[in-house]
Structure 1
Amino acid sequence: MPRQILSSKKIIQQAVILITHDQTPTFSNIAREMGTRSQALYVYFANQDQLRGAIFLWALGTLSDTLKNQLFGLSGRPAIERFAQVCRTVGLQNIRLARFVLMTPRHLQDNTAHQTVTDLNGLLMQLCATYSDKKNDQIIIARTLRNLIVGEIVNVGAGWFHNPTVSAADSFNQMITNYLDTLSTG
C-alpha cells in the first residue's frame, strides 16, 4: 500500500477496520496497513491506551449522531423504543466494534469520552422523563434498557439467540414492550 499522510482520524478509521476484521488494533498492525512505521503513530497517540480511548470516543460519537437523527421529533414510549432499537441495530451491525467499546475500561476514557457517555446517558434520561415523572422510575427504566441492549448485543452477537420460531429482533422488541407495559400498569 502506498504511503499515506497520517492523521488521528485516519489512524482511528484504520483501527476500526482492523477491529471489524477481528484483528487487534496495535500500532504495528495499523502502521502495516497504512504503509508506514509504528513509530509514526506516536505523534498522534502517546500510547495504545490513548488510541483505545479515541476509538471508544469515535464509536460513541457515531452512535450519538445516529440516535439524534433517529429520535428527532419523538418523545415518550416511541422514543424509548426507538432508542433501544437503534442501539441494538448499531451494535449488531458491527459486533466486534461493539464488544471493543463495551470492554474499554473507564480509566481509558478521557474527559471528552466521559462527556460523550454523560450526554448519551442524559439523552436516555430525558426520554425516560417523558415516560415517567418519578426520578427512581427514570433511573430504573434507563438501567433496564441498557441491560437489555448490552445483553442483546452480546447474546445475539454470539449466536445464542438464533431460533427460527421467534427472531431475535422480534423478541427484543417484545421484551421492551412487555417491560414498558408493566411500568404503565404499575
Structure 2
Amino acid sequence: MTTRILSKEKIVLAAVDLINHQENLTFTRLSRILGTRSQALYNYFPDVMAIRIGVAIHFYNDLYQRLQADLLGLSGKEAIKAFNKIFVQYSLSHYPVAQQVIAIPAGKLHNDDLDAAILKIRNIGLKLLKPLVPDKKSRLVISRMLRNLIIGEIVHIGNGRFDNKTISAADSFDQMLNIALSTI
C-alpha cells in the first residue's frame, strides 16, 4: 500500500473540490478523494465544521491576495468600486465555496485564524474609505452598506435572480455603487 502524506492544505483543497462539485462535505468523501481512511483526517480536523472553517480561511486568503494585486495603484472612489467588484467577481467565480463561506457566522466560532482572515478583507475596505469618510461611525455605516451590496449581489446573481434583459447585473451593480458612493 502506498503511503499518503496528508496536510491541512491538501484536505482543504480536496474539500474545495467537493464543494465545487456540489457534493456533501463528509470525512468519508474526503478520505476517498485523498486515498486514505476517514479516521486519518481527524488528526488534522476534529469535525466537518473545522474543515469548513479551513475552506473559508483559504477563500479569504486567496481573495486577499487578489485584492492586494488588483487594487495596487488605485485610490478614492475608484478603488472602493474596484474592491466591491473584485469581491463580487471572485466570489461568483467560486460560487459554491462562497455560499459555504457566507453561511459561516463571523465572530461566533471563536476561531482566531478565520477572524483574522475576515478582518484582513474588512480592513482593506475600511482603509479605502478612511480618506473619504473621516468619521468612524459614518465609515462603519458605509462599510456595512457596501458589504450588504456585495453579499446581495453574490447571492442574487449566484441564484439567477438578476437575470434580466433590461439591464445586466454588472451594470446595475455599478449603478448601485455609484448611488452608494454619491453619499460620500
TMscore range, shorter length = over 0.9
Identical-residue share of aligned pairs (%): 36
How far 1:4 moved relative to its partner?
3.8
Q: How big is the shift at 1:150?
A: 0.2
Distance in 2 separating the partners of 1:61 and 1:144: 23
1:83 aligns to what? 83
Could you tell me which residue of structure 1 aligns to residue 102 of structure 2? 102
1:1-186 equivalences under 5 Å are 4-106=4-106, 107-108=108-109, 110-181=111-182, 183-184=183-184
How many angstroms apart in 2 are the aligned matches of 1:136 and 1:14?
Answer: 41
Q: Which ranges in structure 2 are unaligned for 5 or more consecutive residues?
A: none
Per-residue CA deviation, residues 137-186 of structure 1 (Å, 9 max, x unaligned), is 211211111000000000011100001221101110111012112x14xx
Q: Give 3-state SS (helix, strand or coil) of 1:108's partner.
A: coil
List, as ranges, runs of 4+ consecutive aligned residues in structure 1 with deviation greater than 3 Å: 106-109
Contact 1:50 1:108 in 2 (8 A): no
Q: Could you state the TM-score of these two structures normalised by the residue count of structure 1? A: 0.92
Distance 1:69 1:131 in 2: 22
Instruction: State the alpha-carbon separation in 1 of the partners of residues 90 and 40 from structure 2.
Output: 32
Cα separation, partners in 2 of 1:166 and 1:179, compared to 1, 3 Å: same
Work out the CA distance in 1 between the residues paired with 2:96 and 2:120: 23
Please state which structure has a larger fraction of its residues in helix. Answer: 1
* Structure 1 residue matching 2:167: 3-state secondary structure: coil
Unaligned runs of 5+ in 1: none
Shift of 1:3: 6.6
> Any idea what the Cα deviations from partners look like across 1:96-139, whole Å, max 9, x if unmatched?
11110000134335111111212221211111112222222211
Please, what is the CA RMSD of the aligned residues? 1.5
Contact 1:20 1:94 in 2 (8 A): yes
Give the secondary structure class of the aligned counterpart of 2:22. Answer: coil
- Going from structure 1 to structure 2, the CA distance change for 1:79 and 1:109 (only over 3 Å counts) comes to farther
Instruction: Specify the code of the residue in structure 2 equivalent to 1:9.
Output: E
User: Residues 7-45 of structure 1, C-alpha deviation per residue, up to 9 Å, x if partnerless?
Assistant: 111110010010011112211111111221111111111
Stretch moving more, 58-67 or 112-121? 112-121
Q: Evaluate the alpha carbon distance shift between residue 132 and residue 114 of structure 1 in structure 2; reply closer, same or farther with a 3 A threshold.
A: same
Contact 1:75 1:130 (8 Å CA) reproduced:
no
